[in-house]
Amino acid sequence: MHANEKLVVDTLLTRADHVLTCDPSFQVFSPGAVAVHQGTIAAVGPCRDVEQRYEAKETWTLHGHMLLPGLVNTHVHGAMSLFRGVGDDLPLDRWLRERIFPAESRFVGPEFVRLGTLLSCVEMILGGTTTFCDGYFFEESAADAAEHIGMRAVLGQGVLSCPTPDVPDPAQAADRAAAFLESFSRRPSRLVPSLFCHATYTCTPETLRWAKALCRDHGLLFQIHVSETLWETQEIQSRYGRSPVRHLEKLGILDERTLCVHAVWVNEDDLRTLAQTRAAVSHNLESNLKLASGIASLPAMRQAGITVGLGTDGCASNNDLDLFSEMSLAAKIHKAVCGDPTVCSAREVLLMATRQGACALGLGGVTGSLEVGKRADLVAVDINQAHLTPLYDPVSHLVYAARSSDVRHVWVDGVPIVRDGTVQTLDVSHVLGEARRTAQSIRTVLFPP
């Protein structure tokens, strides 16, 4: 190649006012550019440098935009978007017993899961989330939805020691899980299978052991709700004589491929155990607040060296999938709880929604930051807004001032999934119409006249 000859790439995203890499050095380029080739980031850096080295088949000029890695939602029950609002203002146990479990037994099937997950995918991708970690039943249908829209996902087949919508006989749960994992041989590489054991109080030690063994055999993530409520910790203490975290550690469940969701009611010994085993945590603040489950000790987790990502939980207990609002609230509430305005800085929280979230899912080498060799999952935020003017610190602005509705463009694997605020890969109006029709059936059963 001659000295002045430029490398040709598929796409050049250039002239962005700010490019936030979220890499280990936390580089910010103002203005900046990103070159993408065959779905992979080929270059990222100052605008002038990248433009001098690359020419592209397609160039996006992003004046008035901030470019950042796609956000990573580490805990979702995608299909439950169709239950959004059916059991608000109830404690967790009543919410489950009186609304969610009856609704699931009546309505949940493959088509329900496909539609509900597709609705969640639309909400997430429009809000800048490019990767999500799901856990539910009939999870092949959730994979269909993620594949259709073009998102990256870790998809966890739900496992319990009692009858479920897709495993009426618990004795068949292991066979069901194995069949689910086998089905992924035909999926694109951006979709990764997982197993999601609901909780230590709904899964026997035997169930937890075989599910974790299956995950280990396949090198996959194992997900589980852990210490979400005070009741749960007391129940497991009464059954086994130890906390949920110590119970999992005793069973050999905790390692770097284990994602512990919630971890609200954990003590210092639990934190040490999580850190020593290298298990990760998904912090679901808004859901925990809405259900009055409590506030997880996020600063203590971070200080212990635990990898923590942000999650929204499902729409039935949040009631949205907005990681921008999760970032903002997480950065603020822990300051008040600790009486220290320096904890959970904007930079820390943004990393939890990007690189740390990807690491928690075992995808740290694939996504979560803008680095050469990683997949091109990117989000462009329109900063030409009254609530984003003036701008002194782009990181602070993203966490404390930006909204999910400010997202204008989204790429996954270098493919533009959202362009000018419009999803490119499906008819959103059709999805919304299907969801409304399904909701009418749910309303008739749960809220009879």
Q: Which CATH superfamily is domain 71-360 in?
A: Metal-dependent hydrolases (3.20.20.140)
| Residue keyed to tokens 């999952």 | 377
In Å, how far are 192, 219, 263, 379 from 414, measured between CA atoms? 18, 26, 35, 11
Locate all alpha helices (DSSP H) within 278-365, ordered by sequence.
285-290, 298-304, 323-338, 346-352, 355-360
Structure tokens at 73: 């939602």
On the question of pLDDT at 2 being above 60, the answer is no
Q: Hey, which residues does 43 pair with through a beta bridge?
A: 35
Cα torsion through 366, 367, 371, 376, rounded to 10: 100
For residue range 162-202, list pLDDT tens digits in order.
Answer: 999 999 999 999 999 999 999 998 899 999 999 999 999 99
On the question of pLDDT at 1 being above 70, the answer is no
Q: Hey, which residues does 309 pair with through a beta bridge?
A: 282
Centroid of chain to Cα 274: 20
In Å, how far are 46, 213, 384 from 252, measured between CA atoms? 47, 10, 51
- Nearest residue to 413 (alpha-carbon basis) of 344, 347, 366, 381: 366
Domains 7-69+367-422 and 71-360 share a fold: no
For residue range 392-444, list pLDDT tens digits in order.
Answer: 999 999 999 999 999 999 999 999 999 999 999 999 999 999 999 999 999 98
More confident residue, 210 or 103: 210
Q: What is the pLDDT of residue 95?
A: 81
190 phi/psi in degrees, rounded to 5: -75, -10
On the question of pLDDT at 17 being above 90, the answer is yes
Q: What is the mean pLDDT of residues 35-64?
A: 97
Residue partners of 385: CB distance under 8 A and separation at least 6? 406
What's the rounded Cα separation, in Å, for the pair 364 and 1? 33
Question: What residue ranges do the domains of the chain occupy?
Answer: 7-69+367-422, 71-360
What's the rounded Cα separation, in Å, for the pair 122 and 432? 10
- As a whole number of Å, the end-to-end CA separation of the chain is 75
Q: What is the pLDDT of residue 98?
A: 85
* Residue 330 near residue 283, CB atoms below 8 Å: yes
User: What share of residues in the chain are helix, strand, coil (percent, to 5)?
Assistant: 45, 25, 35
For residue range 261-295, list pLDDT tens digits in order.
Answer: 999 999 999 999 999 999 999 999 999 999 999 99
* Residue 138 near residue 111, CB atoms below 8 Å: no
| Residue keyed to tokens 């995808």 | 363
What's the rounded Cα separation, in Å, for the pair 88 and 110? 25
- Nearest residue to 121 (alpha-carbon basis) of 443, 417, 421, 367: 417
**pTM for the whole thing?**
0.97
Structure tokens at 408: 């204008």
For residue range 120-140, list pLDDT tens digits in order.
Answer: 999 999 999 999 999 999 999
For residue range 334-366, list pLDDT tens digits in order.
Answer: 999 999 999 999 999 999 999 999 999 999 999
Q: Which CATH superfamily is domain 7-69+367-422 in?
A: Urease, subunit C, domain 1 (2.30.40.10)
